[in-house]
């Protein structure tokens, strides 16, 4: 490959359509030898709930993982209180095994079954970061 054909990893990822928080998450994750990623406690992003990638959020109990966040549909209305978002990596051993468990109404890390309320407060164990959710039309914003 000629030198002028080479592009940086950042340029390549931007050509794939990644930008903002998503781009930073990939660059941060790729720059580490260790697969452990510390949960983000800052930043904000929005998603369009009408996009198929977020179809799981149409049903109560559904959840998606985006960047360092897990977002769940916790009730059937269409207000900010019908969704919850916390850091997706467990504060115990930083595993990416967080799910939303509809039956308990809480997030659960499946590795050692630590539970987290929708605020991120630990249910008898360490707490994690809870994010603010707001909604306008089909735009859900996590901050
Ligand atoms: S890594 Fe999540 S409970 Fe242990």
Please write the tens of the pLDDT for every residue from 19-60.
555 544 444 444 333 333 444 555 689 999 999 999 999 999
Q: Residues 58, 93: one domain?
A: yes
- The answer to whether residues 27 and 90 belong to one domain is no
Residue to mutate (ligand 1; options 87, 92, 108; most atoms within 8 A of CB): 92
By most ligand atoms within 8 Å of CB, the mutation choice from 94, 112, 120, 123 for ligand 1 is: 112
Same domain, 12 and 68: no
On whether both 17 and 63 belong to a single domain, the answer is no
52 with 25, same domain?
Answer: no
Residue 138 sits in the same domain as residue 84: yes
Pick from 65, 98, 113, 58: nearest CA to 82: 58
Annotate 68-131 with DSSP letters as a single string: TEEEEE-SSSSSGGGEEEEESS-TTT--S-EEEETTTTEEEETTTTEEE-TTS-BSSS----EE
pLDDT below 70 — which residues of the chain? Answer: 1-43
Domain boundaries, position 94: 39-142
The count of structural domains within the chain is 2
Q: 44 C-alpha to center of ligand 1: Å?
A: 25
Which protein residues touch ligand 1 with a CB less than 6 Å away?
90, 92-93, 95, 109, 111-112, 114
Return the pLDDT at 22.
Answer: 52
The secondary structure element, H or E, covering residue 142 is strand 139-142
Tell me the CATH number at 98.
2.102.10.10
User: Which pLDDT score, from 0 to 100, does residue 50 have?
Assistant: 96
Report how far apart, in Å, the C-alpha atoms of 56 and of each of 73, 88, 102, 120, 133 are.
8, 16, 13, 21, 16
Task: List the residue whose alpha carbon is closest to atom 1 of ligand 1.
Answer: 93
CB 67, CB 40: distance < 8 Å: yes
Is the same domain home to 95 and 45?
Answer: yes
User: Do both 112 and 46 map to the same domain?
Assistant: yes
108 alpha carbon – ligand 1 mean position (Å):
9
23 and 58, same domain (yes or no): no
Cβ–Cβ under 8 Å, residues 45 and 20:
yes
Are 53 and 118 found together in one domain?
A: yes
One domain, residues 18 and 55? no
Are 44 and 9 in a shared domain?
no
């Amino acid at each position: 490959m000629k030198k002028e054909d080479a592009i940086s990893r950042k340029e390549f990822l931007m050509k794939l359509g990644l930008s903002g928080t998503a781009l930073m998450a990939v660059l941060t994750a790729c720059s580490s030898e260790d697969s452990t990623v510390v949960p983000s406690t800052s930043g904000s992003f929005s998603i369009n709930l009408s996009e198929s990638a977020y179809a799981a959020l149409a049903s109560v109990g559904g959840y998606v993982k985006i960047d360092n966040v897990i977002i769940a549909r916790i009730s059937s209305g269409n207000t900010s209180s019908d969704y919850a978002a916390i850091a997706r990596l467990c504060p115990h051993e930083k595993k990416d095994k967080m799910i939303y468990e509809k039956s308990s109404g809480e997030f659960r890390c499946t590795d050692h079954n630590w539970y987290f309320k929708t605020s991120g407060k630990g249910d008898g164990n360490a707490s994690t970061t809870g994010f603010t959710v707001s909604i306008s039309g089909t735009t859900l914003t996590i901050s």
